[in-house]
Structure 1
Amino acid sequence: MTKVFEDSFSELQADMVSICMEYVRDKAEKIFIYCSFEERVISNDFFYCINGKAVKKHKLNDAVDAITENMEYNTSVERQKAVMNIINDDIKKIYKLCSEYKREMPTEIKLVYDVRENSLKAEYKYDLVYSNDPVKTADDIAMEWFEQIEADFNNK
């Protein structure tokens, strides 16, 4: 049986989740992955919910009590870059897949993986998100999303 577009697209998203799970050593409640592809510029970011707190990839250890939980995350720049490079490669593969199947490439993908529920929710945009803004970059949009998620967790 041949793969269809949706199967390949889903596999690439699952790969992004998998590398983010590996980075956090399977110890997160939720994973948030931001992907951007505008004007042929690729960007991504990822962050987590750990112990009920929204935390950036380099601040994972702020969400755990290393003494009681007997662990510390490796949040080295090298590890962060490695994950980001894999996600960027997956975004390039999605672009190639969309081209092959003559589908529109999303300009933005927001993935939320709920570890406990083993469920993935995805939100796609196809219009320009930041390229037509005189100041904003993909990093700004990812930061805004993080701040929104963080506010949601703080208001619970």
Structure 2
Amino acid sequence: MGKEFEDYLSELQTDIVAICLEYVENQADDIYIYCSYEPKMYAFDVFYKINGHIVLKNNLNKAVENQNEIGNEMLIYDTSEQRQEAVLDIGLKDLKEIHKRCKEFGREMPTEIKLHYNVKQNSLKGKYRYDLVYSNDDELLPDDIFDSWFEEVKKNS
């Protein structure tokens, strides 16, 4: 029996989570992944909850900078531009593959996918939108939506 659409979607989402988890060397409490596709534009980004702090991928070390004071071994994340770009490139590649599978199976491509992965519980939840979010607005960009979600999670954390 051949693979169903859901199998492909599940595999690709799992790959997206895996690359985001690898970026933090499996040391995060939660991962928040933003994927967006609106006509001819793909966007992908990620942020994390580490030690109770909600941080962007370039600020991971802010979440662990006080560890030495508590006597724990200091973990230093590699947040180099090359590593950040690698995560984003793989995420975008997977997002484009999701789009390809949507076309192949006659499914509508979500305009927005928000994934929340709870590391300790190994639990993935997704929210999907199918209406245009920013391309019909002269001011909004995908980064604005991502930043807004980041601020919302930070406020509610």
- Whether TM exceeds 0.5 here: the answer is yes
Query: By how many angstroms is 1:133 displaced?
Result: 1.1
Kindly report structure 1 stretches of 4+ aligned residues shifted beyond 6 Å.
none
Equivalent residue number for residue 109 of structure 1: 113
Residues in 2 aligned to 1:100 and 1:131: alpha-carbon distance in whole angstroms: 24
Tell me, which stretches of 5 or more residues in structure 1 are unaligned? Answer: none
1:35-80: CA deviations, max 9, x gaps? 0100120011100000111100000000013533321000011100
Residues in 2 aligned to 1:45 and 1:140: alpha-carbon distance in whole angstroms: 12
The amino acid of 1:45's aligned partner reads: D
The amino acid of 1:106's aligned partner reads: P
Equivalent residue number for residue 142 of structure 1: 146
Query: By how many angstroms is 1:82 displaced?
Result: 0.3
Tell me, which stretches of 5 or more residues in structure 2 are unaligned? Answer: none
The amino acid of 1:3's aligned partner reads: K
Equivalent residue number for residue 29 of structure 1: 29
Equivalent residue number for residue 130 of structure 2: 126
> Does structure 2 retain, via aligned residues, the 8 Å contact 1:66–1:72?
no
Number of residue equivalences = 153
**CA RMSD, aligned part only?**
0.8
Residues in 1 aligned to 2:73 and 2:149: alpha-carbon distance in whole angstroms: 28
1:71 aligns with 2:79: no
> Does structure 2 retain, via aligned residues, the 8 Å contact 1:111–1:121?
yes
